[in-house]
C-alpha cells in the first residue's frame, strides 16, 4: 500500500497525468496572466484601453511605445530619481537589517539570556518616567536620562534578592516578532511626528532607519531558525582545531547559513522595495520611492493605466532577475553530510 | 603526554553530574571512560577538551594546569560522535583546517594531508565533500583531521557508535593499531563494554558521576570492585543470587556454597559469571533447578535454569541439549565466586 506516499509524475496513469498537468497549466495561467496584462497594457494607447478588455497585440490593437517613451524620455529624470531612491533605500536598509539581525539571531541561538522580569520592568518604568519628566516639566533630557539610569541601577541592585521569574531566549524572540503584530498604519503617525521633530522628513536616512527597524524582527526570526539548524558540534570542532570565535563565525557558520542569509535578504529586500505606506508618510519629493510614483499615475486625470504598467514592469523586473540568479543558492542543501553516519 | 584530573567536579545548576573525579592518564595510554548514558563520561571528556567549564578541581595536560585554558590552546584533538565534518569543505580542506589555522603554508599542508590521508586510506577521496562519503569514510576523515597535527592528546566521544556492527568491529581494530603506532595518549568515551574491553589499556567505569573502578580490562572483569562493575561488565551479565553468609558459606533455601570469605552476614549477594557454572546431573551440583530455556549462540549454548527463587544462566558447550523443564544441577568453579554486600554493593573479600 502506498496510499500516503507521493508518486512521481512519471509513474502515474496517463489519465491522472493529464489531470495533473491540466491543473498545473491552469494555475500557471492564473499566476502569469496579470503579468501578461501589465505587459500588453503598457503597449496600448489610451483609446485601446478605453475600448474594453482586449489582449492580443497586432490582432486586437496596434501596439505603441508611447507610454515607454513618456516614462523614459519625457519625464525621464522624474522616473530615474525615485528609482534610484528605491535602490538606495532598499539596498541600504536590507544590508543594515541583515548585519544587525543575523548577529542578534546568532547570539540568541548560541547563548542563553536570562534577564529577570523585575529588572526589565524597572528599566521600562525608569525610561518612561524620564520621558514624562522631560515632556511635562521641561527638564534637560540629558539630566533626566542620567538620573533615570542611576535610579534603574540602584533599584535593580536593591531588588536583586527579590524573587522574580526569568525571561528566556524564546521570550526575547517573541517580543521581537510581536513588533510586527501591530498594523504599520498605527505606527505611521508617531514615526512621521518623530522624523518631523528631527527635521528628517523626505530624506533617505529616515526611510533607511524605518525600513531597517521594521524588517529587523523578520531577519532575527528567520535567521535564528537557520542558525539553530547548524549543529553545535561543528563550532566545537573548529574551536578545538584552533579557530577563534570570529573565524568560526566567518569560516564555518556564515558559509553554512548562506542559503538562509540569501533567502532572508531577498525577502527583506522585496519588502523594502515594495513598501508603500511608510514611504507615503515619510517622503514627499526628494526621497520619493518607486511605489509612490506608480500610485501617482492615478491622479487628477484618472488612472493612467499605460504609464502605470510601464512603471510596474520596470519595478518588478529587478526582483524577478535577482530571484532567478539567487535561486540556486537557496535551493542548495549545503548542510547535507555535516553530521550523522 | 600525561593527563590528570584532580577532584574534578561538575554541576549543572543544582544537579551534580560529576563527583570529585580523580584520573591519571599515563603517556601513550589508551584510557576508556565507560558508563551508561547520564554517567558523566561525556561531560568529563568535554571538560578535558575545554568545551565545558569545570565547577571545581584541576585538570593538567603534560604537567600544565589547563583548567581555565581555552580549548584551542590545549593542543588536544577530538573526534565527535557525529564526526562534525565541515560540510562545505572537501575532505582535504577538512583534514587541513587545523594546519591552516596554525598558519602552515600550502605546500607543507598538502604534504601533511597526503601523508595522513594515506594512513587512513582516504588518498583517492581528497576532493570529495562529506556528503559524498559513506559513514565509515566520514569516520576516517574525522580521525585524519584529529591526527594531522599530532596533538598531545586524542579525545574520542563514541566515535564508532554511528557505524553498523560489522564496520564497527573493523574500525575498532584499525583504531587500536593506529593508537599503538602513533603512541598518542588517548581518552575514549563509550557505553559499549566490548569497545572498552578490547581497546583500553585501562578502563574507568563511571556511574552517576562517580568513578566505580579504574583498572585494566582484565582486572575489571576478573576482580570487580563492587556489584555495579560486576553487573555492567560481561555479556550475558553475571548471575546474582541473594542470601546470607554463615561461617564462610553462602546459604539460601537448602543451598550451601562454601566461599573464600570468613564470618557471617545477613544480607549478601553471590555473583557468578555464566562461564563459571557447569550443567551437571541432578543432585550433584551446588545449585538445583529446571531448564527454562536453551539458546544456541554458535560456539556455545546459553542455558537458563530457574532455581527456587532465581534464574541462573550458564554457558554450556555448543553440543549441549536438554528439554525444557528437565531437572539439572549447576556446579560452580571454585575461586570464581564473588560475594557482595547487598546494602552498599561493595565486594566482600
| Residue from B45, B72, B136 to probe the interface with A (highest A Cβ count within 10 Å) | B72
pLDDT tens digits, one per residue of B111-126: 999 999 988 888 889 9
Q: Which residue among B72, B87, B101 sits closest to A256, beta carbon to beta carbon?
A: B87
Residue B164's nearest CA partner among B139, B132, B197, B193 is: B139
Task: Count how many pairs of residues, chain A against chain B, have C-beta atoms within 8 Å.
Answer: 82
| Peptide bond connecting A177 to the previous residue in cis, omega within 30 degrees of 0 | no
Q: What does the pLDDT read at residue A338?
A: 45
Considering chain A, what percentage of its residues have pLDDT values greater than 90?
A: 41
**Residue A3 pLDDT > 60:** no
Rounded CA separation B150/B1 (Å): 11
The region of weakest confidence among A322-326, B65-69, B129-133, B225-229 is A322-326
**Using a CB-CB distance cutoff of 8 angstroms, which residues of chain A are in contact with residue B141?**
none
Q: What is the DSSP letter of B256?
A: E
Q: Does B35 lie at the interface with A, CB-CB under 8 angstroms?
A: no
In the stretch 249-268 of chain A, residues with CB closer than 8 A to chain B read: 252, 255-256
Q: Does A246 lie at the interface with B, CB-CB under 8 angstroms?
A: no
Q: Does A335 lie at the interface with B, CB-CB under 8 angstroms?
A: yes
Average pLDDT, chain A: 87
Considering chain B, what percentage of its residues have pLDDT values greater than 90?
A: 62
C-alpha cell at A133: 519628566
3-state secondary structure of B264: coil
**Residue A340 pLDDT > 50:** no
The region of weakest confidence among A307-316, B163-172, B179-188, B226-235 is B163-172
| Residue from B53, B75, B79, B83 to probe the interface with A (highest A Cβ count within 10 Å) | B83
- Residue in the structure block whose three cell numbers are 556489584: B227
Q: What does the pLDDT read at residue A339?
A: 45
Instruction: Give me the residues paired with residue B59 across strands.
Output: B5
Instruction: Give me the residues paired with residue A299 across strands.
Output: A302
Rg (CA), chain A: 27
Element (H, E) at A248: none
**Residue A334 pLDDT > 90:** no
pLDDT tens digits, one per residue of B253-285: 878 888 888 888 889 999 999 999 999 988 888
Q: Does B132 lie at the interface with A, CB-CB under 8 angstroms?
A: yes
Q: Does B87 lie at the interface with A, CB-CB under 8 angstroms?
A: yes
Closest-CA residue of chain A to B135:
A341
Alpha carbon separation from A18 to A4, A8, A15, A23 (Å, rounded): 21, 14, 5, 9
pLDDT tens digits, one per residue of B124-155: 899 999 989 988 899 899 999 998 988 999 99
**Residue A1 pLDDT > 60:** no
Q: What does the pLDDT read at residue A2?
A: 52
pTM of this prediction exceeds 0.80: no
pLDDT tens digits, one per residue of A131-165: 898 888 888 888 888 999 999 889 888 888 778 88
ipTM for this model: 0.83
Q: Does B86 lie at the interface with A, CB-CB under 8 angstroms?
A: yes
**Residue A191 pLDDT > 90:** yes
Considering chain B, what percentage of its residues have pLDDT values greater than 70?
A: 100
Q: Which residue among B77, B88, B138 sits closest to A240, beta carbon to beta carbon?
A: B77
**Using a CB-CB distance cutoff of 8 angstroms, which residues of chain A are in contact with residue B45?**
none
> A252 vs chain B: nearest CA distance in angstroms?
7
Q: What does the pLDDT read at residue A336?
A: 44
C-alpha cell at A127: 525610561
Q: Does B320 lie at the interface with A, CB-CB under 8 angstroms?
A: no
Are B72 and A256 an interchain contact pair (Cβ–Cβ within 8 Å)?
no
pLDDT tens digits, one per residue of B34-46: 999 889 999 999 9
Q: Confidence class of residue A19 from pLDDT cuts 50, 70 and 90?
A: very high
Q: Which residue among B49, B87, B98 sits closest to A336, beta carbon to beta carbon?
A: B87
**Using a CB-CB distance cutoff of 8 angstroms, which residues of chain A are in contact with residue B88?**
255-256, 334
3-state secondary structure of B153: strand
- Geometric angle at alpha carbon B58, from B54 and B59, rounded to 5°: 85
Amino acid at each position: 500500500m502506498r496510499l500516503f506516499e507521493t508518486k512521481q509524475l512519471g509513474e502515474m496513469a496517463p489519465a491522472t497525468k493529464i489531470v495533473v498537468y491540466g491543473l498545473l497549466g491552469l494555475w500557471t495561467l492564473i499566476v502569469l496572466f496579470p503579468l501578461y496584462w501589465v505587459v500588453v497594457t503598457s503597449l496600448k494607447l489610451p483609446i485601446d484601453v478605453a475600448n474594453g478588455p482586449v489582449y492580443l497585440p497586432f490582432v486586437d490593437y496596434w501596439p505603441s511605445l508611447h507610454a515607454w517613451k513618456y516614462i523614459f524620455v519625457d519625464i525621464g529624470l522624474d522616473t530615474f530619481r525615485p528609482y534610484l531612491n528605491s535602490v538606495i533605500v532598499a539596498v541600504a536598509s536590507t544590508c543594515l537589517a541583515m548585519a544587525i539581525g543575523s548577529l542578534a539571531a546568532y547570539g540568541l541561538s548560541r547563548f542563553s539570556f536570562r534577564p529577570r522580569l523585575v529588572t526589565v520592568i524597572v528599566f521600562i518604568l525608569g525610561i518612561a518616567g524620564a520621558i514624562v519628566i522631560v515632556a511635562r516639566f521641561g527638564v534637560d533630557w540629558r539630566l533626566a536620562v542620567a538620573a533615570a539610569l542611576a535610579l534603574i541601577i540602584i533599584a535593580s541592585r536593591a531588588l536583586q534578592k527579590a524573587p522574580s521569574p526569568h525571561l528566556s531566549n524564546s521570550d526575547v524572540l517573541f517580543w521581537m516578532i510581536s513588533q510586527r503584530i501591530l498594523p504599520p498604519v498605527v505606527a505611521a503617525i508617531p514615526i512621521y511626528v518623530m522624523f518631523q521633530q528631527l527635521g528628517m522628513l523626505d530624506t533617505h536616512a529616515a526611510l533607511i532607519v524605518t525600513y531597517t527597524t521594521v524588517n529587523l524582527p523578520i531577519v532575527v526570526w528567520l535567521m535564528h531558525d537557520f542558525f539553530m539548524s547548524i549543529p553545535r558540534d561543528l563550532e566545537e570542532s573548529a574551536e578545538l582545531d584552533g579557530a577563534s570565535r570570529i573565524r568560526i563565525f566567518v569560516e564555518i557558520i556564515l558559509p553554512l547559513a548562506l542559503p538562509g542569509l540569501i533567502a532572508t535578504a531577498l525577502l527583506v529586500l522585496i519588502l523594502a522595495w515594495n513598501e508603500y505606506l511608510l514611504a507615503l508618510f515619510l517622503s514627499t519629493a526628494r526621497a520619493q520611492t518607486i511605489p509612490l510614483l506608480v500610485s501617482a499615475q492615478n491622479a487628477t486625470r484618472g488612472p493612467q493605466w499605460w504609464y502605470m504598467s510601464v512603471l510596474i514592469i520596470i519595478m518588478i523586473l529587478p526582483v524577478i532577475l535577482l530571484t532567478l540568479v539567487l535561486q540556486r543558492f537557496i535551493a542548495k542543501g549545503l548542510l547535507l553530510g555535516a553530521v550523522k553516519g | 603526554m600525561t593527563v590528570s584530573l584532580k577532584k574534578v567536579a561538575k554541576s549543572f545548576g543544582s544537579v551534580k553530574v560529576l563527583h570529585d573525579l580523580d584520573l591519571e592518564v599515563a603517556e601513550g595510554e589508551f584510557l576508556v571512560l565507560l558508563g551508561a548514558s547520564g554517567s558523566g563520561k561525556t561531560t568529563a571528556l568535554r571538560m578535558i577538551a575545554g568545551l565545558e567549564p569545570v565547577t571545581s578541581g584541576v585538570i593538567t595536560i603534560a604537567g600544565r594546569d589547563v583548567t581555565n585554558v581555552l580549548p584551542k590552546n590545549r593542543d588536544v584533538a577530538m573526534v565527535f560522535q557525529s564526526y562534525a565534518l565541515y560540510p562545505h569543505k572537501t575532505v582535504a580542506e577538512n583534514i587541513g583546517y587545523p594546519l591552516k589555522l596554525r598558519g602552515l603554508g600550502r605546500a607543507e599542508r598538502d604534504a601533511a594531508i597526503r601523508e595522513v590521508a594515506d594512513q587512513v586510506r582516504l588518498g583517492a577521496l581528497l576532493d570529495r565533500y562529506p556528503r559524498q562519503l559513506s559513514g565509515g569514510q566520514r569516520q576516517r576523515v574525522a580521525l585524519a583531521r584529529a591526527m594531522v597535527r599530532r596533538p598531545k592528546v586524542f579525545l574520542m566521544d563514541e566515535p564508532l557508535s554511528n557505524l553498523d556492527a560489522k564496520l564497527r568491529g573493523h574500525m575498532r581494530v584499525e583504531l587500536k593499531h593506529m593508537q599503538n603506532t602513533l603512541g598518542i595518549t588517548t581518552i575514549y568515551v563509550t557505553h559499549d563494554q566490548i569497545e572498552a574491553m578490547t581497546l583500553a589499556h585501562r578502563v574507568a567505569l563511571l556511574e552517576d558521576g562517580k568513578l566505580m573502578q579504574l583498572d585494566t580490562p582484565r582486572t575489571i572483569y576478573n576482580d570487580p570492585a563492587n556489584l555495579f562493575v560486576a553487573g555492567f561488565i560481561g555479556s550475558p551479565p553475571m548471575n546474582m543470587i541473594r542470601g546470607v553468609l554463615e561461617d564462610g558459606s553462602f546459604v539460601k533455601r537448602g543451598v550451601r556454597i562454601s566461599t573464600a570469605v570468613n564470618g557471617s552476614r545477613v544480607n549478601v549477594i553471590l555473583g557468578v559469571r555464566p562461564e563459571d557454572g557447569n550443567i551437571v546431573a541432578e543432585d550433584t551440583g551446588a545449585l538445583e533447578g529446571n531448564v527454562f530455556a536453551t539458546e544456541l549462540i554458535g560456539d556455545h549454548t546459553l542455558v537458563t535454569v530457574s532455581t527456587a527463587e532465581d534464574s541462573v544462566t550458564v554457558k554450556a558447550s555448543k553440543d549441549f541439549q536438554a528439554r525444557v523443564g528437565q531437572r539439572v544441577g549447576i556446579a560452580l568453579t571454585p575461586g570464581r565466586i564473588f560475594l557482595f554486600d547487598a546494602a552498599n554493593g561493595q565486594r566482600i573479600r
